[in-house]
Amino acid sequence: MNWEGQKLVEELMQYLLLASALISFSTGFGFSSVKLMFLIYASGALLTLLITVPDWPFYNRRPLVWLDAKVAEASNSRLLKAKVAAQQKASKTMKK
């Protein structure tokens, strides 16, 4: 799952739980039944669980592109050399 898929899951979870809470409260209040309220909310929570927990394909619409290991290693070594050179240059100017 990519970052946008995680964001979508988070939003879906919040909206589904809010909707199930509102529906269960209004139904429980209308019928004066706490048992019915809890059953409807538990059903909504289960539905939310089934929608948000599995890694469904629509969460991977924009897959991440990973660097090849050799390219990443070469890039890291160049950055490390540049960082060391900058630190050495800074320490030389501080001594003067």
Tell the residue number behind the tokens 């599995």, with chain if given: 54
The parts of the chain modelled with pLDDT lower than 70 are: 67, 95-96
Looking at the fold, whether 76 and 49 belong to one and the same domain comes out as no
- Same-domain check for residues 77 and 52: no
In order of 6, 29, 39, 49, 56, the CA distances from 46 in angstroms are 19, 21, 10, 5, 16
Tell me: do 53 and 14 sit in the same domain. Answer: yes
Digit-coded pLDDT (tens) for 26-49: 999 999 999 999 999 999 999 999
- For residue 60, the model assigns a pLDDT of 85
Look at residue 43 in the predicted model and tell me its pLDDT. 98
Q: Helix or strand or coil: residue 33?
A: coil
Same domain as 15, residue 4: yes
List the domain range (segments joined by +) for residue 90.
Answer: 66-96
Q: How many domains does the chain have?
A: 2
Same domain? 45 vs 2 = yes
Using alpha carbons, select from 39, 50, 54, 60 the residue that is nearest to residue 16.
50
Shared domain for 22 and 49, answered yes or no, is: yes
pLDDT at 96: 58
Does residue 21 share a domain with residue 48?
Answer: yes
pLDDT of 34 reads 97
Q: Residue 19 has what pLDDT?
A: 98
Residues 39, 74 share a domain? no
